Amino acid sequence: MAFPERFSNLPDYAFPRLRALIDHLPAGGDPIAMTIGEPRHPFPDWVGETIAATLDGFGKYPPNEGTPELRAAIAGWVQRRYGVTIDPATQVCNVNGTREALFNACIATAPELKHGKTPVVLMPNPFYQVYAVAAIASGAEPVFVPATAATGFLPDYEALPPEILDRATAAYICSPANPQGAIAPADYLARLMALAEKHDFRVLADECYSEIYSAEPPPGALAVMQATGTDPERVMIFNSLSKRSNLPGLRSGFVAGGPQAMARVKQLRSYQGAPVPLPLQAVSRRAWDDEEHVRANLALYASKFRMTAEVFAGIQGFQLPEGGFFLWLPVPEGCADGEAAAVKLWTETGVRVLPGAYLSRDTAAGNPGDQYIRVALVAPEAELKAGLTRLRDCLYG
């Protein structure tokens, strides 16, 4: 039986790779998991009440793109957050979290050929792994653009050769970045949009960490689009309630963009998408309408950031993330790479972290994540402090 070749070069996903690396080894202490970006702060107490009040909705097929009330709540949040007015009827679609939409939007909007050539899709390296699969599924070649300390942990798309840019159909940008926590300034986004206008590609802005930050709220791609006069069909944004509202299991987010692009997304989704159940759409609507729980969540992360800075004070290479909740830590000289650091931490302390190479791809210049580990700051603060202290003493002591 034959199988498709287009996905044959995909590496194992990050977490199965980590299990294969360390699960057969004994833990050197009580295990503390700091690998997955699963928020562990309390979600709003009205979630259960809302589901109970709309329980009969489980007996109905939900609308594919979200109820009018939910789409209006999302558009209202976009207006309050970014000062941009979008039409909830034509520019918003509710989805099962951003991963689904980041995959489907590329397939729905990227042409099969560009100037008679195989297209490319640009993405940062390291990156959220769905970007590469979306590019391949759309028939494009993924182009991995280093996002390293030398580039401020953001991809320098402007440095790409014109022949690559002319073949681009889409460019992914994640801000705040996963895993490095870098925030794309408004002028960076403006230059990216100018590049997209010049070379005719679409900007796919992954903003799912936008409500977790250390100082100022991150700029939004739609706000920059409006300020620069960029064609609204050229920009799509993606966000969810997973990080903002501590509801990763709700599987509810949105994609928003120009009416023509969104019509394509909705058309494809009507065939292959699974709409969010009505009670969960009711929770989603209330979550997008409410900012009180978001401010409380941000205050909890601010406390964790202060504690983390105290634990790592004086450690060379340490820096707090500008946004999101991951530390992107360089491995010390005593460790060969991120895998070696992960093994050392697990076998000597029981702390579980993710090697940076599992979030990036090999290039001719090497793997930009090879000398890093990713550490999730999601555990309760006491547990987090214990894990970070063990990590510091084991790797940097």
pLDDT in tens, 307-365: 999 999 999 889 999 999 999 999 999 899 999 999 999 999 999 999 999 999 999 88
Nearest-angstrom CA–CA distance, 7 and 321? 33
User: So what's the pLDDT on residue 111?
Assistant: 96
What are the tokens at 106?
């590329």
User: So what's the pLDDT on residue 10?
Assistant: 87
pTM: 0.97
User: So what's the pLDDT on residue 154?
Assistant: 98
Question: Which residues does the chain have with pLDDT short of 50?
Answer: none
Residue among 240, 215, 210 nearest 322 (CA): 215
Task: Show Cβ contacts of residue 149 under 8 Å, excluding neighbours closer than 6 positions.
Answer: none
User: Phi-psi bin for 99: left (phi > 0), alpha (psi -120 to 50), beta?
Assistant: alpha
User: So what's the pLDDT on residue 225?
Assistant: 98
Nearest-angstrom CA–CA distance, 396 and 332? 7
Residue among 392, 379, 188, 218 nearest 300 (CA): 379
Q: Is the peptide bond between 355 and the residue preceding it cis, with omega within 30 degrees of 0?
A: no
User: So what's the pLDDT on residue 397?
Assistant: 87
CA-based max dimension of the chain: 59
- Count helices and strands in the chain by DSSP H and E runs: 14, 12
